[in-house]
Amino acid sequence: MQITESNALNEQLNNGDVQPWYATQSGPMLVINDEIHPQFNPNSSSIKLRNGVGVCRDGSIQLVNSDEPVSFYQFAELFKDELGCSNALFLDGGIASALYAPSIDKQDKKEMGVMIGLVENKE
């Protein structure tokens, strides 16, 4: 899996460097090549529930849904510093944030549109 900024993806597509079989667009990027997005303000007072996805240096994929309102900067810090994600993308937030994960007893009762899921392959 790869998370990249849209202009970088266009360049990769034009060069034939990637051939994605599935992609989604959201944003903004939270972490770009191990750096917090340069437009985020560490002192921002704009806090909301947020969710995002990161690809981490250890190869793991981290999906995060905040339990409490956070700023973009705080959310990006979580991905970069605590989860070790080199690249992370904001997916959505506020009332659109929902999580269905019975294994951790989390089943938000909200209407859901686009969903990302993890399915075990039993080959």
pLDDT score of 95? 58
> Strand, helix or coil at 13?
helix
At 12, the amino acid letter reads: Q
Q: Compute φ and ψ for 61, nearest 5 degrees.
A: -115, 130
pLDDT score of 104? 79
Cα 107 from Cα 122, distance rounded (Å): 25
Q: What is the pTM of this model?
A: 0.75
CB 31 within 8 A of CB 87: yes
User: Which tens digit of pLDDT belongs to each residue from 1-50?
Assistant: 777 777 777 788 888 887 777 667 677 999 999 999 999 999 999 999 88
Nearest to 82 by CA among 95, 96, 66: 66
Residue with tokens 């917090």: 36
